[in-house]
Amino acid sequence: MLPLQGADQFAELLQPEVNLGVGDELGDRDARVDLLAQIDGSRVHTVGSKHEGIELRFDGAGHRIDFAALVGRSVWLYPQHEALKDLIAARLAAGQDLRFGVTVSGVEDIDTDRPRVIATDAEGAAITIEADFVVGADGSRSSIRTAITGPHGGAFREYPFAWFGILCEAPPSADELIYSNSPDGFALISQRSPQVQRMYFQCDPNDDPNALSEAEIWDTLQKRVPGHELTEGPIFQRDVLRFRSFVAHELRRGRAAIVGDAAHTVPPTGAKGMNLAVADVILLARALDALLNSGDATVIDGWADAARERIWKAQHFSWWMTQMLHINPTDSDFDRRRQLGELRTIVDSEAGRAYLAEAYTGWPLGAV
């Protein structure tokens, strides 16, 4: 959804639904925040909230990771659906041809200079879009990915736990996010706005989100953050978020590429989902500018490798945060004690805290 000057036809296929769950945190002093802030009508600095650290909580005590002091950066908590509103409004205001309610069945001729998107519109009528380049930003069930990867798919991992998430009407329970490791499992005390809060606790992937009463939910959350009193309020949304990691083996073929959840998914523990998607698009926009406006294919030829380096760094960080903070149902007493030792190693070491702060706030984009 970035403007691309000079492109005759540019087809970007968007995921039809946006995950209203985790509010991703975007690194400050970073091209991703700069990009969103430069969009006409952007609300990242008004609706979003700036955070200069997080709290790691274990053994009943909190330990602040001070991003500003450690790496000179901060993060902006900005929900995905709010960012999408800004992007859609900006592109509509610029007169871009956005099609809503379109169902894509596939893409053809991607190895030529005029790939075609095959789809049906909201009324069920068949449509074909011929483009200079096709970008599949159509989510984890991408219809474009198969055309790019073929039968090879990608690298996949599923985790033996999930998050039970709620939205509630209440003021924040803490100034910054709390990542809590307790003997009963993980909890994340997050935020959505001054009036609405988002919180999660570790659960079984097959749990029914409607099986617990509000009192039971609050009891579970409070038990997971011992020593910190939560501010309770009416719960108006609840869901179970499964944990998966995935990276497509191929990100681009010919005149088609995939970005965001179509290309990769990460556990939400590291707040890397929207960060990676925005980084994909920034790097891809540079490559497409060179290809379509200057006839230079060198940058697009290197785009997938450049994107993949960042993707796997984010995959590692997300996995690392997940395994360090969650209780695996197969863990032994040794595993539990080793996990606490890992947490203690991080909070007791300036180098350990700095690594977490650097990875959490995001790596520089650099050149493709």
State which amino acid sits at residue 256. A
- What's this model's pTM, rounded to 2 decimal places? 0.89
Q: What is residue 81's predicted lDDT score, i.e. its pLDDT? A: 83
Q: Is 51 a catalytic residue?
A: yes
Known active-site residue 360: yes
Is 272 one of the annotated active-site residues of the chain?
yes
CA distance to 21, 178, 188, 217, 304, per residue, from 168 (Å): 12, 16, 14, 11, 40
Does 226 qualify as catalytic in the annotation?
no
The pLDDT tens digits for 116-136 are 999 999 999 999 999 999 999
pLDDT digits (tens, 9 = 90+) for 216-233: 999 999 999 999 999 999
Tell me the one-letter amino acid at 223: K
Give me the domains of the chain, ranges plus CATH numbers: 10-52+74-156+244-330 (3.50.50.60)
The band of 366, judged by pLDDT with boundaries at 50, 70 and 90, is low
Which candidate in 172, 179, 200, 267 is catalytic?
Answer: 179
Token pair, residue 143, equals 């219809």
Specify whether 268 is catalytic: yes
pLDDT in tens, 152-178: 789 999 999 999 999 999 999 999 999
CA distances from 286 to 96, 250, 281, 309 (A): 19, 19, 9, 17
